[in-house]
């Protein structure tokens, strides 16, 4: 399973009003593991940033003047996202800007190139209704350090969001899922999946010394409650009514 955590920085808030993308970052996850195969561009937006946006990202027109234009990086970006799920915080914002950039180049929308688009802001609102669900707030909630985040940056924010997403979805993991993931990522694409029936659980039985210690604990419980503790009784076998 290939997923990309994506973030953009822009000249302002209104893609339809002519604001442009000036930074683009993608962090790759394969089977819920960071690969280090990331994609990052500074982009010449061919216009100045609004003062409010500049205060957020700090990327000046002078700094961006010699960077490639979006049309020069779009093919590499499309190849990178091909077939992957995109994980974005407030996805309508970033996808709206990407679609606007694609439209300027006569290209179809982003959704035609990628798999599912997952909005972590929408999911966070479902998980934590009525609470702040900005990226900073989620980092605080999940104990993820963002002390080095003085300005917004597409790659840095993507790396933080990757940690947040894994923390948000950690309950979906299991031993079997992890084993399947390792099997798929360690070899070729045709690596066979692990057969569940082949999994063997190690059974460790108590030795005589451990059994004696256990009985001593039960004796102490019996003495304290002046009777047999519940641990002395085996559960009654299920009746037919209970089974049905």
Q: Which long-range contacts (CB under 8 A, 24 or more apart) does 171-178 make?
A: 173/32
Half-sphere exposure of 145 (CA within 13 A, CB side): 2
Q: Are 140 and 131 in contact (CB under 8 A)?
A: no
* Annotated active-site residue in 113, 148, 152, 214: 152
Measured CA to CA, the distance from residue 215 to residue 210 in angstroms comes to 9
Catalytic-residue membership of 152: yes
Could you tell me which residues are beta bridge partners of residue 87? 5, 118
Element (H, E) at 78: helix 70-81
The torsion angles phi and psi of 146, rounded to 5 degrees, stand at -125, 30
**In the block, which residue shows the tokens 């057969």?**
195
3-state secondary structure of 103: helix
- Name the residues annotated as catalytic: 152
């Amino acid at each position: 399973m290939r997923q990309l955590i994506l973030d953009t920085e822009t000249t302002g808030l209104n893609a339809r009003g002519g604001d442009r993308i000036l930074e683009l970052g993608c962090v790759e996850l394969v089977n819920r593991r960071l690969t280090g195969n990331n994609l990052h561009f500074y982009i010449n937006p061919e216009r100045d940033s609004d003062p409010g946006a500049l205060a957020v990202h700090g990327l000046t027109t002078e700094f961006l003047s010699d960077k490639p234009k979006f049309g020069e990086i779009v093919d590499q970006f499309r190849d990178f996202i091909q077939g992957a799920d995109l994980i974005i915080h407030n996805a309508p914002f970033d996808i709206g800007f990407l679609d606007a950039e694609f439209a300027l180049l006569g290209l179809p929308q982003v959704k035609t190139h990628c798999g599912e688009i997952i909005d972590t802001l929408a999911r966070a609102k479902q998980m934590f209704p009525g609470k702040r669900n900005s990226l900073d707030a989620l980092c605080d909630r999940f104990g993820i350090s963002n002390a080095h985040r003085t300005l917004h940056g597409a790659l840095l924010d993507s790396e933080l969001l990757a940690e947040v997403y894994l923390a948000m979805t950690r309950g979906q993991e299991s031993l079997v899922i992890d084993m399947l993931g390792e099997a798929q990522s360690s070899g070729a694409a045709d690596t066979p999946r692990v057969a569940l029936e082949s999994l063997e659980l190690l059974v460790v039985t108590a030795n005589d010394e451990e059994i004696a210690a256990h009985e001593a604990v039960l004796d102490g419980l019996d003495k304290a409650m002046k009777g047999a503790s519940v641990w002395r009784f085996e559960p009654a076998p299920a009746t037919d009514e209970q089974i049905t």
